[in-house]
Amino acid sequence: MFALAEASSGLCLLREFAELKNVVPVVRNVEIKYKKPGQGMIRSKVFLSVDKSAVLEMLETKHRALIPVQVTLFDANAVLIMQATFEWFVLIDAN
């Protein structure tokens, strides 16, 4: 479940900031709450918990930003099985 949540959060970053070049993202911190055991196929739902324009401004001025991504996992019966926040440290590489 952790691997699915981490991959989902990374995919969210790629999707939301696809226009950026020379970006180095690293997971800085993770907070997870496991709720129940999952059954069947597991699906994820992700969203940024910060304003995208504020992140872009920070990256433009400081060339780095912390971006929290919220992830929830649900099983085949739509039961919430995990909630997590992945905090990504994103750096614009000038090289």
Give the tens place of pLDDT for each residue, 55-91.
999 999 999 999 999 999 999 999 999 999 999 999 9
Q: CA 32, CA 82: separation in Å to the nearest integer?
A: 7
pLDDT reported for residue 38: 87
Domain total in the chain: 1
pLDDT reported for residue 93: 84
pLDDT reported for residue 6: 97
Minimal CA–CA distance to 66: which of 81, 54, 78, 77?
A: 54
Full domain range(s) for residue 32? 2-92
Above 80 in pLDDT, residue 95?
no
Minimal CA–CA distance to 90: which of 16, 32, 33, 31?
A: 16
pLDDT-based confidence at residue 49 (cuts at 50, 70, 90): confident
Domain with residue 88: its CATH number is 3.10.129.10
pTM: 0.90
Above 80 in pLDDT, residue 94?
no
